[in-house]
Amino acid sequence: MYSIIVVPPPTTEDERTGGQLRLAPGDHLSFGRSAPDNDLVIGHDGVSRRAGRITAHGAFWILSNLSARQTYVVENPEGAGEHIKVGPGRLDAPVPFEFSRIVLPAAGDLLAVEVWAPRHDYLHGAGGPDGEPTVPAFSVDRAKRYFAVLAALCEPRLRGDPHAPLPTVDQVVERLRPLWPAASRTSVQWNIDYLAVKLRLKPGPDTAESGPRLNGKKESLVSLALRFDLVREDDLVVLAGPGRTVLPAAPGPVER
């Protein structure tokens, strides 16, 4: 029974022909530039001769970085920027993602090896011991307008670009106007300030100026929301409104 599927980067013959490499639990897959030493040969001068090794372990897999100098990044494409770093010489680093992308820096290029693990199992419907319920770490009401504002801020990164600039206040206003006709810069900014207090964040050096910003209050809110799954991709339905379909994020600043 196979548990791990590896999709090679486009520099390999396996990927060009649509090939996939399947590993059963306990199987190893070595990769690198040198043909005699590796199961997967990546023909790029910037890749080490013996670059790394993937080992399947049932519902997860481990990565060994056999490079002497390069740090590899394992991204979760479904995790809005979630990633782990595997430093040079690091052996047997466990990777917890169902879908992963190993990013190999190679002489100015970034080569991606995709790895698919089995769907993870989760505990469902199990009740805890009797007594007072546990107080949630972050209490958010998905029916409130502040949550729609938070979802609009998180939307670009939830839709696949973990490094996308955050929407401006003007863009959030336009994004929410179909379901909140009275939305304005003042009301959206008030909800951002409210979220910063509600989620116990210290206000950052943010301003009301237009233009994407990668620091400040909005960045802190989005970082917290995505790290702790306060907003998931499924939550973007709140941006659709009754009887509407979810619209794509605005591509650029809204003209005044």
Q: What topology does CATH give the domain 4-116?
A: Tumour Suppressor Smad4 (2.60.200)
Spell out the domain ranges in the chain: 4-116, 145-239
Q: Could you tell me the two tokens for 90?
A: 């690091």
| pLDDT tens column, 193-243 | 999 989 988 544 454 455 544 348 899 999 999 989 999 989 999 998 655
Strand order in the sheet with 21-23: 21-23, 4-7, 109-116, 99-106, 72-75, 83-86
Specify the pTM.
0.68
Q: Which residue has the higher pLDDT, 98 or 249?
A: 98
Highest average pLDDT, of 2-6, 157-161, 223-227, comes from 223-227
Quick one: CATH architecture of 145-239? Orthogonal Bundle (1.10)
The DSSP output letter for 121 is P
Would you say 95 and 62 are in contact if contact means Cβ atoms under 8 Å apart?
yes
Confidence at 36, pLDDT banded by 50, 70, 90: confident
